[in-house]
A and B are shown apart, each in its own frame.
Chain A
Amino acid sequence: MSEDIPYVDRRVLGAGTTLRFTLLVVLITSICIDLITSTVGLAPGEAQERSAALPWVWGMAGTAAVLGLAFLTYWWLPRWKIRRGRLIPVRDDELAAELLRLAERAGLARQPRFVMDWAAATPSAVVFGRWRHVVVSLHGGLVALRPNNSQGFADVVLHELAHIRNRDVDIAYATEALWRVFAVFVLLPYTVISIYPAPWRLSPAEAFKEWQGHWQWGLHGLARIAVYVVLILLTRADVLRTRELYADLDAARWSGSRRPLSPHPADGPDKVRLRGGLQRFNAVWRTHPSWTERRESLVAPGPLFGVRALTMFLTGVTVMTAVDALGILPHASLRTSAGVLGGPATWVMAILVTGIVGIAVWRAVAHAVLTNQPAPSGLHAGLWLGLGLAVGELVSFHAAVGGLLFAPLPRTPPWLPPAPHLLLLLVAAVAVLTWWATQCAELWVRTCRGRTLLGISLVGLSVLLVVFGAWFEWWNAGGYLYMIGAARNTLRESGVAATLSEMFPGTSEQGEALLPFVPAEVFVVSLMQRPMVMVGGALLWLFPLAAWARRPVEGVPGWVRRAHPAPDGWTMAGSHLPRLRWVLTRGVEGAALCVCAVMGTRLWLHLSQPPSGQRSAKWLFYTMVWTTLALVCAAAVVSAAVSASASRYRLPVALSAAGTALLGGLAGTFALAATDGCVPPLETAASVCGWKHVPAWVMVHQVIGPFTLGAGLYAVTIAIPAGVGGRFLVERGGLVNRLAGWRARSSQAAAGVKRLSPGRTLALGAVGGMGCVAAVAGTRAWLHTNRLSPDQSFLARVEDSTLWMTLALVVAAALTTAAAGALTRWYAPTAALAGVTALLLGLIGIFILMTTDGCVPGAEVLASTCQWRPAPAWRLFINTVVPCVLALGTCVTAALILGGLTRWRAPVERPLSGRIAGRIAGRTYVGTACVITGVLLAGWWGLTVRTADRAVAELPVSCPAGSQDPCHDLARRQIQLWASTGAVALLDGFQRDYTTFGADLLESARMGGEINEDTYRPLCEKWRENGRRAKNLPPPEPEASKLWNQVAEGVKRGGETCLKGLERRDGELLGRGFGEISGTHEEYVRLLERLTFLASD
């Protein structure tokens, strides 16, 4: 570390060691509960019978006793130390006066008690004690040293006083007391019982025999103890080492000396420097850092602000071990989901982890900004934390032993879970999240104008808590089960697909195709119960985005003034934020991609959609799942591309762009769903064209929106390293130089683009148009020979031909645009004009071909005879081809033009805009994004939390005993009984009739508006009757019953209106009847969800 780095005030942010001490205490306590509870199971005779029912109560009581003993030890420790060490008070007046002066210099509110350990020959001192009774013990060697080296004496005493000032004494000795009591009263007996099980029952010979038979299990138990001891000692030593460095730093600040009293002068050869691996190994067990480290950290305290790999690793292992140990408790269990938000204990552990990691990251970033050093990436720290979590998961043998729940007990215990490689996912996810947290911290620190970083760091830590905690809670509640093969299969069998197949019999191509994509049905189910995952996902992009809404930093911010030794000469070096416009432009392009992806998905879904009238709720579910997947995939591509093109803040920038793209994509999805049926090739659920905003809003608001903007962003985040890695590979492969050369050439060319005259452009467009017509004609020939068959209905042939002709036209027009762009060296207006000309000519060509259908042998599509039919061709053209071309063409052309205009240049980094207009625009966008996301998440929240809460509130108070979850069982049985009385048939009938009616209505509208009474009357009568019948068959649950009645009433009324319309031959009245029925769709969807919830296990 260079000496040029300024000596930053270490109190710029808290050190976070108190949280690490707390984590240690939590670890010891949780292990204590675990070990006592498991030992109680071995208790002899009556005690065993008594304790078998509630072993964890004994565990809690035993732990309380251990804590009580630890408190007594802590309370008596100072007195015992003084008596045992024969320590005497300082009686020398001069010495006492000097000590008083030093205590005043340290700013202590209360004077400690000074004693002397006269027999200790080391020039050292030690501080111990308890709350308000702190004792500083001076060694004889130090007292003897004082006349000759008063500076060294002051250094040592001030170091101890710094421990008091930093409040290390209480927590260090409380932890020490707990550890000692735990070791003597819990660990030791447990070890004895592991070696010699049940000494009250077995003779030594019998015990030996038992041990021979089950020695592997005994070894398993001993290995666990060894892991606990190693973990506690290492964590304790690591925290204490950090405290020593801080005490040194404070002592140096008070005394003004940066050279501590040490065994070897700093300028001499350093014998303490660690060389070999063995010495490094020894060093991690010591409670004091090496003298080299202590001296270096006084000269350059940078490492104190850094994120230490060992600390991260130990934090990870400790947290996982504590989580596993606490899993023995029934209700506060971490390993089972306790309600919608997860177990409270999980969140306590998440708070500790995010506190420790977050503070370390924010400190490192703040120091880097203050000293104008490059900020750490956070990836390294995250990798170590993830590795720690993975190792913790392995050494607690949790998943390994947990797998036994699904299999018979083997003779030898498993040491590894069946699928340990899945832990790499854990490591990668934690690494990326820490990386994200670090980059967000840098964004916010660089834009901080306040006097202190405390406020924004607390906001940052809270956000990290939600983002990490949601994910961590999911992992501990069910994610870890993926490592258990048998469990995975069991869970899959009871997953979403099984439930859906049971509820909605029948299958479809898309449903089958979905299965390999979603091996994680359980994942989906567990996510559906966790709105916090949704909130966490939303914060992943909104939190960094909000940094752009801040006012620009002018001059030296207050927090820098307080922490920097020479603030007046300070200027913020390093990179600024990329411009928001750049990020949003990427987002808009991404939105175009998202809409294209959704359209593509709808085209594909349309190809094999069930016939009109058979589109069940299951089909709707698949539609929504595929749309969600398409959006998330497109956003992942956008984020990977943006992260590859950004030079800094890759994660925040990529996520902000991906979030923006998703917002745009969702708007497009809403529009497509609301106009479902208007563009025949894109039709998936509805068959009638119209503005169906209610069902579209339900889909986007309650399912697609929350999933993409919430949980989907976690998936998008995982894609970002692909972009960064790709860029790295390209750079390493030398491709980047070639790319840069190409870019330079193209930017030179851009200065003098080759403009074509309008005439030439139109000529180019005409050539392209001819190409379009040729492509369409070729497609028609292909359709005639390969695709269309006389067995198909007229409607099916219309849809098929429209889809393929449109695709051919749009591809040809896009190629024309690209060719024109290449010829003019990417002069956008020329390219666009040529593209539009080609498209228009192509459309004219299509119309002519449709009008003359049947005249060209080998290219007949709909007609078989040659005849001039302008009127029906025009109707078909306007109703099918034009909407299709407009939708597809707009999308592709927009993507082409935007891509050509911006060409994914790297962002311009500069300070936040001082212009008020720019700032207002930025803030407006950020605010709008937050509000929209909030509204979308509220839909999901309302659906899950409210429904779950009501279900819990409405369940009967007394439930039959003997079942694991009797109340839910009861409700489920009631619903199943009700369903078997014909309710399911009614529901299915409603869905089927609804879609048939819609399709028929469309058909009749196409055939000139003729209403066939024979088709509609039975349907309308059926609806009226079914509505009446349904009102007498409400489900046995208030919420579902209310929804059921609303739907039944709407259907009955719709049926009556429809009949009236038929009687009066009034198409409008008929449509209104259908509208009344479709108006109940929202309630219908909620009813289905409610019933699914009630009927599920």
Chain B
Amino acid sequence: MITQDELARTAERLRDALAAAADVMAEPDAAPVSSPVPRRPGRLSHARAWLIPLAAAACVVAVIAASVLLARNLARTSSPTSQPAYPGSSICTPLPAAGPGRTLPRFYVTTDVTARQIQLQVRRTSDCTITAVVPLPAGWLLTGGISATADDRTFFAAAFSATRCPVQAGAGSTSYAAHKTRFFRFAVNDQGRAGRLTVVGPPVAGLVGPIAASPDGSRIAFNASDANWVGPGKACTGGEAEGGAAISVIDLATGKIRTWQTQDMPPAPAGTSVTPHEVSWMADGRTLAVSYVWPPNPSGPQLSMAAAALDTTSGGGSLQAHSHLLWSQPQKYIFSVQEALISPDGKSLTILATQQTTHGYRTTLLRIALPSGRYRVLYESPAETNSPSTFTQDGSGQHVILVSGTQAGWISAGKLSLLRAPDSTLESFDGITAIVW
């Protein structure tokens, strides 16, 4: 005999199980709506095989005739042709040609965080058209951003499941104990079509900061201590995850996680707590550049930044013991450095810095030669009000996309070539890369 209580409990369990299953149900590639291709039942008989070349020729003639007719009609009416399933961009400056021996990235991925479900949008660099939309499962919020492999064909996202921003546990702190970050992966083919979104690697307690996929996609590095996250339509306040300041690397084949604690990192004064920021891989797939900041003096508002090269084949432990200093911000630097990524060959760092001028803040991208520290300016924005900025580089380290406020574009010859996309897809979130290639 089933009691009313049991029925009520069963209803609650069912509701909960369906909601949870819907959350984890990875959304496969959404094929655009298109006309069906009629299929003939059965096989073409052998006796009529000679019709094939004739039919093919007739088709070619028909297509040419239709094209001519269509072109005439278009010239008369100037009306648009059939709409693509995913609208493209009317403003898209072509990516400048690559130098000899260099290939241009063909795709980049942006995030639409205002949608009810966070969506990852694959776009072609040649015309900015969206070629695929990959939604994260419902209820999963982006944390740690997105990352791409060196060949810009495999993309990763870090997310955690929640229906809203986590509740503040106390004044100025947030409890992450109940949350777990999962890593998602999808591949893109030569046409820009996306494959299935799959969960990879083990879950990670708490929320993670910026992530970086290794060049071959076999490992994911992440900042375990600088967690901001994005919910539908807004960025939630960040904080420090459980376990303190650390950098971790997951081996996706074995599921093993190695962690390096970031205390006492030179040149920060002994006993100073440093906060790790971005991580980026060198082409060897073994060396990870870790940038970190610390306050120059206890009362100073400005942060100092340095970057160290970590040997990820070490078994974990102290970052200081397994790394060497690559670069540190000179004491009288006029820039306030925000982000730093290493080039695949390890010969330079690209940094994003802001500079206060009499007309407001200016965002500057600099390339710093290692180990000399000499820099050259890649791009300097007009002085304006301070807006959050971030940047991403492709697998070669040569091509850079800068996001400043709600504008994004690639940098070439000191200029920012704007990419048009809905504002929500390009918004820059502190610590979260919303665009990658």
* Bound together: no
Listed in ascending order, the chain B residues whose CB lies under 8 Å from chain A are none
